[in-house]
């Protein structure tokens, strides 16, 4: 069984690439299986993004805005589940060396975009695009106890 992996980082600025610590890092996808939703960035700073094409976005420190598609479970009864999709917008101020995960809040009938600031020294192996390959190989009830969730 093969596992599809995203390529390396995409540099979302012009000019030469900087060391990872000089950039901010934005994951192209996020979500929370316990809260039953996924978030996939579809545009960053007005430019379209193919989320599966990169494992991380290296962005310049400063203001950024994204559009994302959120898929969330509206309700579940027994074996039946109802999933909904929404498009959200969010803006944030990226800081040098910080890593950000796209996030969403589902409240009542509204869905709101957000980012989670994971701080500095957040391991690239904890990014959702890196962990997805691991999760696909495990049974659905398995938990991955590698320290990444404790950082949230």
> What are the helix (H) ranges across 4-152?
128-136
- What pLDDT score does 128 carry? 77
In-domain check, residue 31: yes
Q: Which range of residues forms the domain containing residue 130?
A: 10-136
- What pLDDT score does 114 carry? 87
In-domain check, residue 152: no
In-domain check, residue 103: yes
- What pLDDT score does 60 carry? 95
- What pLDDT score does 117 carry? 93
- What pLDDT score does 109 carry? 73
In-domain check, residue 146: no
- What pLDDT score does 134 carry? 47
- What pLDDT score does 3 carry? 37
Name residues of the chain where pLDDT drops below 70: 1-7, 32-35, 51-53, 74-76, 81, 129-152
- The candidate with the shortest Cα–Cα distance to 56, out of 80, 18, 82, 20, is 20
Read off the pTM: 0.78
Residues 6+ apart with CB under 8 A from 4: 52, 133
- What pLDDT score does 1 carry? 31
In-domain check, residue 148: no
> What is the tally of structural domains in the chain?
1
What is the spatial distance between Cα 12 and Cα 10, in angstroms, rounded to a whole number?
Answer: 6
In-domain check, residue 59: yes
Residue 43 pairs in a beta bridge with 48, 67
């Amino acid at each position: 069984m093969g596992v599809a992996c995203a390529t390396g980082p995409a540099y979302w600025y012009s000019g030469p690439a900087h060391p990872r610590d000089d950039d901010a890092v934005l994951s192209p996808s996020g979500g929370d299986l316990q809260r039953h939703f996924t978030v996939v960035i579809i545009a960053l700073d007005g430019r379209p993004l193919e989320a599966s094409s990169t494992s991380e976005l290296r962005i310049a420190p400063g203001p950024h805005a994204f559009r994302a598609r959120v898929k969330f479970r509206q309700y579940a009864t027994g074996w039946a589940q109802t999933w909904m999709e929404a498009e959200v917008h969010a803006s944030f101020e990226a800081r040098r060396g910080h890593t950000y995960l796209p996030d969403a809040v589902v409240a009542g009938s509204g869905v709101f975009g957000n980012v989670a600031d994971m701080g500095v020294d957040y391991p690239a192996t904890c990014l959702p695009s890196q962990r997805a390959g691991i999760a696909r190989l495990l049974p659905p009830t398995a938990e991955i106890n590698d320290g990444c969730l404790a950082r949230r």
